[in-house]
Amino acid sequence: MRSSSPSTTILALSFAVAIGHAHHSRWEVNNFKSLVTFGDSYTDENRLGYFINHNGSAPPVGWQQPVGLNTASGGLSWARYASIYSNTALYNYAVSGAVCSNLVTPRYFSSISAPFPSIQSYELPAFLADSAYVSPNGTKFFTGTATDTAYAIWIGTNDLGNSAFLTDSQVVGKTLLDYVDCVFSTLDSLYANGGRSFVLLNLSPLNLLPQYATPENGGYTATKFFPDKGSNITEISYRIAENVATVNSIFSYRTPFEVIVEKRWPGAQIANFDVHGLIADIWHNPAGYLNGTAPLNVTGVIDQCDVNGKNCVVKESRDSYLWYDELHPSEQTSRVVAREFVGVLGGGSKWAKYWG
């Protein structure tokens, strides 16, 4: 039998050590005083609204973002709930419609006459500017430190969806790996700025969203977010499921490799939050998560509109639904994600693996 090479043995031992020390003592909810989030409409509170209402201009440095009471969930975002549950100050840089990099999957937004602001082009630079900002009265805008700040990145729904990889609309020559590289590059910048505690949320089960689901799982033939979907909705569902599985597998294996083997971020700790598994579990076992008075529903939506976004009918008993509309989780789902995210910060979540 062929023996393993020394490098292979070292790699295997490194991973074994990492797995054996999954629970790290620095993961404790009370250690965190600030939460910084990046992402898209799943996380955004009202940043895209600022761009729309100011002719495409970004918020100024040191902008005090108000609490978003009516986000894409129909209520508060998961990030706001996580801040409330963990008693942390929230610095939320997510923008609805965002991707990780407009150099990979740019998506044009006519309301601002430009692509949606991405993590690399706007969200990350905005945070870096805010983190160094001091107001005229001498007050620091960002009060977080290396030891008391958690950074969370949840991006990919738009990167892998229509008008991006799903419909072969990415920049010529770009692949899913370029999207993944962008996420890890974002960690590089946050680490260089002093960040040491990171949570990477993987891709949701996009194939279960009403926008991308198969017919038997409640998939729509067209939506206001994807009006030109075409007739083969089963093929679309299978393709996005394959892409999600590929990306999530890369995240799962690459994170410990970068931390343990490459030692890319010395002294940092990173948690991989399996939000894909969590939301899939809600879909399969709704009674464990949804608590509305109407029959529990994991295929329908609360806010039902036509393909033009008109003639909307809003269902009652919102807490009975997994999805708010064809593309977004409901507020109840956001509460669940937030609750489990706080569990991740606590260091012992069954939905997370810890490295560093």
**pLDDT tens-digit readout, 67-108:** 999 999 999 999 999 999 999 999 999 999 999 999 999 999
pLDDT of residue 46: 95
pLDDT of residue 25: 66
pLDDT of residue 14: 47
pLDDT of residue 9: 38
Q: Alpha-carbon distance 145 to 131, whole Å?
A: 10
**pLDDT tens-digit readout, 26-69:** 999 999 999 999 999 999 999 999 999 999 999 999 999 999 99
Contact 280, 207 (CB under 8 A): no
Helix (H, G, I), strand (E, B) or coil at 276: helix
Q: What string of H, E and C letters represents the secondary structure of 132-201?
A: CCECCCCCECCCCCCCCEEEEEECCCCCCCCCCHHHCCCCCCCCHHHHHHHHHHHHHHHHHCCCCEEEEE
Evaluate if residue 4 carries a pLDDT over 70.
no
Evaluate if residue 200 carries a pLDDT over 90.
yes
Q: Alpha-carbon distance 263 to 261, whole Å?
A: 6
**pLDDT tens-digit readout, 295-354:** 999 999 999 999 999 999 999 999 999 999 999 999 999 999 999 999 999 999 999 999
**pLDDT tens-digit readout, 140-187:** 999 999 999 999 999 999 999 999 999 999 999 999 999 999 999 999
Q: Alpha-carbon distance 45 to 83, whole Å?
A: 13
Domain boundaries, the chain: 28-276+330-355
Evaluate if residue 279 carries a pLDDT over 90.
yes
Residue 151 bridge partners (DSSP): 36, 198
Tell the burial category of 299 from Cβ atoms under 10 Å away from its Cβ (0-12, 13-18, 19+). middle
CATH number listed for the domain at residues 28-276+330-355: 3.40.50
pLDDT of residue 20: 37
